[in-house]
Amino acid sequence: MSGMPCVILISGRGTNLQAILRAVAEEGLPLDIRAVISNRPEAAGLEQARRAGLPSYVLDHTLFADRETFDRELQELIDRHVPQLVILAGFMRILSEKFVSHYRGRLINIHPSLLPAFPGLNTHRRALAAGVGEHGATVHFVTEAVDGGPVIVQACVSVLAEDTADTLAARVLAEEHRIYPQVLRWFAEGRLRLERHSGRDCAVLDGEILEASEHLLPGEVKQ
Ligand code: GRF
């Protein structure tokens, strides 16, 4: 397969993985997915990877003494596949600084909130509890600050009066599946980079710094 060599990390059901696989198969997203790795043996996404004929691996974090040992092993497994990009697609582990700096500029994550709002877990429940009118998803470069790396793209959804965490999550997820393949395409085409400008990390697309305040509205895709 042609395309940018990459490795995808998952922990669960793998719907973002599925969206990426679909974009590769049907929309010519230029990625050469060399491996899918899960830290949970029961992750449903592993089955999708196998069905797509991709090498899949389980590295069960519960079998490791500490985060550093797990991350070291994970790094070794990833690097065997020589990726130019490591994609976190619902990977639910905090990664150590050493790991993150090893992949600086080639590690991308999707988070189910409009960062910097609601980093961490249970974002939909917390968004409802906070009474926000807008919620969404963020694709960002991963840096040492957890959920704090430079934003690449955000997609907003309006919060409805009748929303539960599940209905809100479903609308956000649909946006995730739309924006993640788009961002990965930019990266694979060499248009997107992590750069330092005036002492801060910035996501740069086609030579222009993407500001965190540039939200994408539903249905809009910035080219
Ligand atoms: C997504 O909401 C993603 O943003 C978050 O975890 C969830 C994973 O879902 N990090 P899936 O495994 O891709 O279906």
Q: Give me the CATH number covering residue 70.
A: 3.40.50.170
What percent helix, strand, coil does the chain show, rounded to 5?
Answer: 35, 25, 40
Does 136 share its domain with 84? no
pLDDT score for 212: 63
Q: How many domains does the chain have?
A: 2
Q: How far is the CA of 16 from the centre of ligand 1 (A)?
A: 6
- Tens digit of pLDDT for each residue in 160-185? 999 999 999 999 999 999 999 999 99
Domain co-membership, 25 together with 123:
no
Q: Whose Cα sits closest to atom 1 in ligand 1?
A: 90
How many whole angstroms from 190 Cα to the centroid of ligand 1?
25
- Would you call 215 a catalytic residue per the annotation? no
Per-residue pLDDT, averaged over 117-127, amounts to 97
What's the Cα-to-Cα distance from 19 to each of 27, 48, 211, rounded to whole Å? 11, 11, 26
Query: What was the pLDDT predicted at 145?
Result: 85
Q: Are residues 71 and 120 in the same domain?
A: no
Same domain, yes or no, for 123 and 141?
Answer: yes
- By percentage, how much of the chain surpasses pLDDT 70? 94
Residue bearing the bigger pLDDT, 78 or 145 = 78
Q: Which of 47, 171, 176 maximizes ligand 1 atoms within 8 Å of its Cβ, making it the mutation to test the pocket?
A: 176
Token code pair at residue 30: 């230029």
- Last residue of some domain: 49, 81, 103? 103
Out of 78, 103, 128, a domain closes at 103
Phi, psi of 14 (to 5 degrees): 80, 35
H or E element that contains 171: helix 165-188
Q: pTM of this prediction? A: 0.95
Across the range 47-67, mean pLDDT stands at: 97
- Measured in angstroms, how far is the CA atom of residue 197 from the centroid of ligand 1? 30
Determine which one of 61, 111, 135, 140 is catalytic: 111
* Degrees to nearest 5, angle at CA 13 with 7 and 132: 100
Q: What stretch of H or E contains 176?
A: helix 165-188
Strands 200-205 and 192-197: antiparallel
Q: What is the band of 219 on the pLDDT scale with cuts at 50, 70, 90?
A: very low
Given this model, what pLDDT does residue 147 score? 87
C-alpha 19/C-alpha 181 separation (Å) is: 7
Query: In the predicted model, is pLDDT for residue 214 greater than 60?
Result: no
Is 132 found in the same domain as 42? no
Q: Using the 8-state DSSP alphabet, how is residue 216 labeled? A: B
Q: What is the mean pLDDT of residues 198-213?
A: 90
Same domain, 98 and 125: no
Last residue of some domain: 103, 125, 144?
103
What residues line ligand 1, using a CB cutoff of 6 Å?
Answer: 10, 12-16, 45, 89-90, 110-112, 173, 176
Regarding whether 82 and 45 lie in a shared domain, the answer is: yes
The dihedral sign for the CA sequence 6, 106, 48, 30: negative
Indicate the pLDDT class of residue 216, thresholds 50, 70 and 90: low
Domain with 30, as residue range(s), is 1-103
26-51 confidence digits (pLDDT tens): 999 999 999 999 999 999 999 999 99
| Pocket mutation for ligand 1, best pick of 16, 48, 108, 152 (most atoms within 8 Å of C-beta) | 16
- Any residues with CB less than 8 A from the CB of 63 and at least 6 apart, and which? none
Looking at the structure, do residues 93 and 116 belong to the same domain, yes or no? no
Q: Pick the atom of ligand 1 nearest to 43's CA.
A: 12
What pLDDT, on the 0 to 100 scale, is given for residue 213?
Answer: 55
Q: Please choose from 115, 118, 126, 173 the residue to mutate so as to test ligand 1's pocket, defined by most ligand atoms within 8 A of CB.
A: 173
**13 and 80: one domain?**
yes
Is the model's pLDDT at 191 over the cut of 80?
yes
Residue 217 has pLDDT above 60, yes or no: no
